[in-house]
């Protein structure tokens, strides 16, 4: 196999966003809410609706899986914008896995030729110990490149940045409020 390495430098993404938040809940609970798109209307203001297609026949039509395509309804500046994404990474650590348990899911835009517009959205959940039990760190971000990425940046850059940065905080609030609600019901 011949591997050709180009001397042409790759262009930096037009949009590159990174953010993280610590969530006071077990990593598995956060993972389930992240990949189950039926929960998104309850907490996700950027993508309040997602319809999954192209999944294996025996899979759940609301839970993201490797290779599935998902039709997102993205809310940008008060307007619904459709976007088709494809899950390209779906890593779940095996039980008994040594070291930190890290869950990963990544999706890429699937409705444009990559020469025009490429996006990659990564999500990573890492199990960590908290003062009152297991917690997790949620890291997420997105890169957008190609000629259309500059148009997106010019027209919607601030809204995209705000939406992606809000995403983990909205999930954190949703999960931690559920935890508080269930704890108060147990006390009663």
CA atoms within 13 Å, Cβ hemisphere of 99: 3
CATH code for residues 17-181: 3.30.530.20
Spatial contact of 124 and 96, defined as CB atoms under 8 Å apart: no
pLDDT over threshold 70, residue 182: no
* Nearest of 142, 135, 136, 146 to residue 165 by alpha carbon: 142
Spatial contact of 17 and 161, defined as CB atoms under 8 Å apart: yes
What mean pLDDT is predicted for residues 11-31?
Answer: 95
The pLDDT assigned to 127 comes to 95
pLDDT over threshold 80, residue 5: no
Alpha carbons 2 and 157: distance in angstroms, whole number: 39
Count Cβ neighbours within 10 Å for each residue of 20-34 and write b for 16 or more, e otherwise: ebebbbbbebbbebb
**3-class secondary-structure state, position 168:** helix
**3-class secondary-structure state, position 136:** strand
What mean pLDDT is predicted for residues 9-19?
Answer: 86
Report CA 61 to chain centroid distance, whole Å. Answer: 17
The pLDDT assigned to 2 comes to 47
What's this model's pTM, rounded to 2 decimal places?
A: 0.87
What mean pLDDT is predicted for residues 20-38?
Answer: 97
pLDDT over threshold 70, residue 187: no
């Amino acid at each position: 196999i011949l591997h050709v390495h180009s001397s042409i430098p790759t262009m930096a993404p037009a949009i590159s966003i990174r953010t993280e938040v610590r969530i006071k809940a077990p990593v598995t609970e956060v993972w389930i809410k992240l990949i189950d798109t039926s929960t998104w209307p309850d907490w996700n203001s950027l993508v309040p609706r997602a319809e999954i297609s192209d999944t294996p026949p025996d899979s759940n039509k609301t839970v993201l899986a490797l290779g599935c395509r998902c039709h997102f309804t993205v809310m940008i500046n008060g307007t619904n914008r459709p976007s088709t994404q494809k899950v390209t990474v779906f890593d779940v650590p095996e039980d008994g896995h040594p070291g930190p348990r890290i869950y990963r899911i990544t999706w890429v835009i699937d409705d444009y030729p990559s020469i025009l517009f490429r996006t990659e959205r990564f999500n990573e959940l890492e199990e960590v110990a908290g003062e009152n039990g297991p917690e997790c760190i949620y890291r997420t971000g997105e890169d957008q490149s190609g000629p259309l990425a500059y148009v997106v940046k010019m027209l919607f850059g601030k809204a995209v940045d705000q939406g992606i940065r809000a995403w983990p905080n909205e999930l954190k609030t949703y999960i931690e409020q559920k935890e508080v609600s269930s704890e108060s019901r147990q006390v009663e």
